[in-house]
Amino acid sequence: MTQMTFARAINAGLRKSLENDPKVVLMGEDIGTLGGVFRVTDGLQKDFGTHRVVDTPLAESAIVGTAVGLAYRGYRPVVEIQFDGFIYPAFDQIVSQVAKLHYRTRGAVKMPITIRVPFGGGIGSPEHHSESPEAYFTHTSGLRVVTVSSPQDAYTVIQQAIACDDPVLYFEPKRRYHDKGDVDESLDHTSPMSMGEARVLTQGTDVTLVAYGPLVKTALDAASAAADEGVSIEVIDLRSLAPVDYETVVASVRRTGRLVITHEAAQSGGLGAEVAASITERCFYHLEAAPVRVTGFDIPYPYSKLEMHHLPGLDRILDGVDRALGRPNSLSGLEG
């Protein structure tokens, strides 16, 4: 076990992938000499050379589009999109090319591309630096979408994403980059827990609380605070957003009868809606209350002095838990 930050854990995972597979190449803006704006790729160009860790011109569509060409040639590109809000110029290449080429070539061409995206808010940034665009990609067939919530997962899942023959969007919770945790470096891409599985983090009996990425820590803090009031919350880290491991969530909700899901992304058409609908379909007769969503608002990401109003925090999550439990809450007495 080694203590590592998130950023260092991803770096170690990238390093291991570069060592294990000569076809792995890293591409992105400022990832070489600088080591990335978050230093996630620190030192990798120095050790693996400019042909394997490539500083690219500033063109996101080209970063992803040339990765497609490299994948055609048998490479396994790992591209960095510098910030969540910068991914949109690459949208066509991701949605029409990366996601669909395996289908469009009847399986002849594989697209083992990993797209790393620092995402989410909470770091006081100006606009376009704090977005949560995951639902655009979970809605796109052909892609896998994963997030990580601990340095161990960051280390293991990045290697699993790179080893995966399907394209993977790997969302990194940027406000947790400097959080530390234990990492067992033997848990590489062969780890028995696949990147597609959800993980039950705390056992509970009253409410199932589903979170992912940066809000997993907030959810755990909420569960701990609720325990002080005698409420038992089962926290599930979704980990994979496409596909969602419903078996794990279904098993939990069948026991607790209540579901709260939280994310930073806007509510409408978001992952919370998808999980709530699917769980309602599969667990209707086990549910004691309607599923509750605690999410960002349907607004452009706000200026930083107000971002904490937009981001679900511990208290808003607990308010949602109270709604699921039918306890007094901020919406008590409100119809519909």
Partner 1 sequence: MSTDETGQGGPAAPDSARHPHGQGRDLVQLVTPSGERISHPEFDYWVRDVTDEQLCSLYEDMTVIRRIDVEATALQRQGELGLWPPLLGQEAAQIGSGRALRTDDFVFSSYRENGVAYCRGVDLTDILRVWRGTASSGWDPYTINMATPQIIIGAQTLHATGYAMGIQNDGADSVAVTYFGDGATSEGDVNEAMVFAASFQVPVVFFCTNNHWAISEPVRLQSHIQLADRAAGFGIPSLRVDGNDVLAVMAATRVALDRARRGGGPTFIEAVSYRMGPHTTADDPTRYRDANELEDWAARDPISRIAALLERKGLLTEELQQQVKDKADAVAREMRAGCTTMPAPEPLDVFRNVYSTPNSWLDRQQDHYARYLATFGDPAGAVAEEGAR
- Binding positions for partner 1, rule: CB under 8 A: 25, 51, 54, 56-57, 59, 61-62, 64-75, 77, 89, 92-93, 96-97, 102-110, 141-142, 144, 164-166, 196, 242-247
Closer CB to partner 1, residue 135 or residue 233?
135
CB of 155 to partner 1, least distance (A): 21
Closer CB to partner 1, residue 162 or residue 242?
242
How would you class 39 by CB atoms within 10 Å of its CB: exposed for 0-12, middle for 13-18, buried for 19 or more? middle
In this structure, which long-range contacts are made by residues 32-41, counting pairs with CB atoms below 8 Å and at least 24 apart in sequence? 36/80, 36/82, 37/82, 37/83, 38/7, 38/118, 38/174, 38/177, 39/7, 39/11, 40/7, 40/10, 40/11, 40/14, 40/80, 40/116, 40/118, 40/172, 40/177, 41/11, 41/14, 41/80
Closer CB to partner 1, residue 103 or residue 303?
103
Closer CB to partner 1, residue 164 or residue 325?
164
Q: Choose, from 51, 102, 128, 129, the residue flagged as catalytic.
A: 129
| Residues near 194 by beta carbon (within 8 Å), at least 6 away in sequence | 160
CB of 67 to partner 1, least distance (A): 6
- For residue 151, is the peptide bond before it cis, meaning its omega torsion is within 30 degrees of 0? no
Find the Cα–Cα–Cα–Cα dihedral 181, 112, 15, 194, rounded to 10°.
Answer: 30
Instruction: Tell me whether residue 310 is one of the annotated catalytic residues.
Output: no
CB of 99 to partner 1, least distance (A): 9
CB of 127 to partner 1, least distance (A): 22
Closer CB to partner 1, residue 74 or residue 336?
74
CB of 147 to partner 1, least distance (A): 17
Helices (H), the chain: 6-20, 44-48, 60-72, 91-92, 101-104, 134-138, 151-163, 215-228, 246-256, 271-283, 307-310, 314-325
Amino acid identity for residue 301 in this structure: Y
Catalytic residue list: 129
